Structure 1
Amino acid sequence: MNHWTKLSIDYASQRSYLDDLFQVYPTIPEGIRDIDKDLWKRVEKAFAKKDNIVLLENILKLALFPIKDSYVAYLKRDKEAIKRNPATVDRLCGRLYEMGLDEIFSRSSEAKETNRQIGPFFKRWILKKSLGVEPLKKEEFLKAKGNAILDASDAIMMAFAREHLNYKHKKGLDFIGRFNGKYVIGEAKFLTDFGGHQNAQFNDAISTIKAKNVKAIKVAILDGVIYIKGKNKMYKDITGKLKNKNIMSALVLREFLYQL
């Protein structure tokens, strides 16, 4: 098995893994969502008048619809569908009236789900000089003689990898560095659970390290449930068919880079 994968598994099972990982992924929910005052006044007015069409039209404009319902996304994308489907409108509005304005406001202003916020955290951690190197903008990065990390947007990072490292994969990158004269690229993921979307995230990272003819060392910087020993697919993959790939926790990345 890859030494760094084993080190990550051991770290997760024997040390304060989650406590330490919080430095990389401080998954603190944001404050409540702001609701436009004028829009909310229109909601209140339509609610008082029991005007189903106007009520639904305005509530659909909120960033978060207060009810989980399979038909809401369709209504958001096809505004005219409200007029063509009176039974659906009445059904949804019936639930809204039952909830009441206070509950509608409360649910529509809930904080964003944590797992939708964690994407930028890895890069923020890098920018704190957590790997011992101050990230540099593209021009400075190219001129730097010693170890260096690229500080760039997703688009610039992708363009750099295509131009300088023969990276032709469609997936974006979260990390480009140069240590001991060797380029390293990687995608970072925090896998919070098994199944569904998390499996897709895992597969994205793995497809990046499988990209061919890249002039760099490829790394999948993965954290979360992936290192829990058991029969789950991700653990079986990293200890089985992917056991020789560079798959590791962000918490051992620094040691990996400096030993290159």
Structure 2
Amino acid sequence: MNIWTKKSIELATQRNYLDLLYRVYPMSVNLRRELPNSTLINIRTAFDSRDGNALLKILLKQEVFPIKDSYVAYLKRDSSSIDRNPSTVQRLVGMLYEMGFDDIIDRTTVPKETNRQIGPLFKNWIKTGSLGVPVFTNATDFINAPENAVFDGSDAAMETFARNQLGYAHPKGLDFIAKFNGKYVIAEAKFLSDFGGHQNAQFNDAISTMQSNLAITDKEVIKIAILDGVLYIKGNNKMHKAVTTEFSDGEVIVSAVLLRDYLFSL
């Protein structure tokens, strides 16, 4: 186990880890989704006039459909199927009428889940300059910079740079590219909020990036995994077992809270 993984576990279990992590991943209050007033009027009109097809078509265009049903995704992707499947439409519309107008609106404007907010937060934190070095959005400026620096371009720009300059060929995108003391550092960054399912997949994605092979280039490239969350909780969970037993001293798994210290240690 790498020393920075040990430090991350110690941080999480002995200090105010969550308070520090909130600077990287600030969770905002989950505000309700909004519907334009014209959409609300159209929903009300279709509902009151019992125009089931119109009601269904309006609701299928919204970000969230008020009923969890396995057939909804199909109807969203092929609106013409509404006219060809009257029994399915009647079943769904009947459920909508039974819910009532207020409940339909309430479920259609349900707040976004917290984990949907997490995606851009790490890169937002990078943009603030919290690592104490210049942040470049242009690849040429980044590579020509004589000092330590971070490249924070678009997802496509970062992937192109990594493939063309750093020998990166893994199919996953990168969240982090930096250079410190002449060494380039690349990583995916994940906040693993719980155990199981999707979170295990996120963990595996970051690890596969860290362990991916690089083509030979004229640059020294270090692949790491920037991971935070429940993986540092001591116990029999799969992720903690993995980080404490399955990786060599040269495989760096580090909390974003310690990222600055790690980079300046290179």
Query: Which segment is superposed worse, 230-239 or 90-99?
Result: 90-99
1:164 aligns with 2:169: no
TM-superposed CA distance for 1:34, in Å, is: 2.3
Task: Report what 2:237 is aligned to.
Answer: 232
TM-superposed CA distance for 1:74, in Å, is: 1.3
The one-letter amino acid paired with 2:129 is: K
Q: TM-score, normalised by structure 2?
A: 0.93
The one-letter amino acid paired with 1:228 is: I
Task: Report what 2:252 is aligned to.
Answer: 246
TM-superposed CA distance for 1:93, in Å, is: 1.8
1:72 aligns with 2:77: no
Query: Runs of 5+ in structure 2 lacking a partner?
Result: none
TM-superposed CA distance for 1:58, in Å, is: 1.2
TM-superposed CA distance for 1:30, in Å, is: 4.8
Equivalent-residue separation in structure 2 for 1:28 and 1:69 (angstroms)? 29
Task: Report what 2:21 is aligned to.
Answer: 21
**8 Å Cα contact 1:221-1:249 kept in structure 2:** yes
Q: How many residues align?
A: 260
Task: Report what 1:206 is aligned to.
Answer: 207
How big is each residue's C-alpha offset from its partner over 1:157-188, in whole Å with a ceiling of 9 and x where there is no partner?
Answer: 11111111111111111111111111111110
Task: Report what 1:53 is aligned to.
Answer: 53
TM-superposed CA distance for 1:236, in Å, is: 1.1
How big is each residue's C-alpha offset from its partner over 1:174-208, in whole Å with a ceiling of 9 and x where there is no partner?
Answer: 11111111111111001111111111111110110
Q: 2:221 aligns with which of 216, 219, 226?
A: 216
Superposition pairs of residues 121-200 of structure 1, within 5 angstroms? 121-137=121-137, 138-200=139-201
Equivalent-residue separation in structure 2 for 1:192 and 1:243 (angstroms)? 25
**8 Å Cα contact 2:33-2:109 kept in structure 1:** yes
Equivalent-residue separation in structure 2 for 1:226 and 1:67 (angstroms)? 34
TM-superposed CA distance for 1:86, in Å, is: 2.6
**8 Å Cα contact 1:187-1:221 kept in structure 2:** yes
Identity of aligned residues (%): 56
The one-letter amino acid paired with 1:173 is: L
TM-superposed CA distance for 1:40, in Å, is: 2.4
TM-superposed CA distance for 1:96, in Å, is: 1.5
**8 Å Cα contact 1:127-1:134 kept in structure 2:** no
**8 Å Cα contact 1:186-1:218 kept in structure 2:** yes
The one-letter amino acid paired with 1:147 is: N
**Ranges of 4+ aligned residues in structure 1 off by more than 3 Å:** none
Q: TM-score, normalised by structure 1?
A: 0.95
The one-letter amino acid paired with 2:148 is: N
Equivalent-residue separation in structure 2 for 1:117 and 1:29 (angstroms)? 10
1:37 aligns with 2:64: no
Query: Runs of 5+ in structure 1 lacking a partner?
Result: none
Equivalent-residue separation in structure 2 for 1:252 and 1:190 (angstroms)? 14
TM-superposed CA distance for 1:219, in Å, is: 0.9
The one-letter amino acid paired with 1:119 is: G
Query: Which segment is superposed worse, 73-82 or 114-123?
Result: 73-82
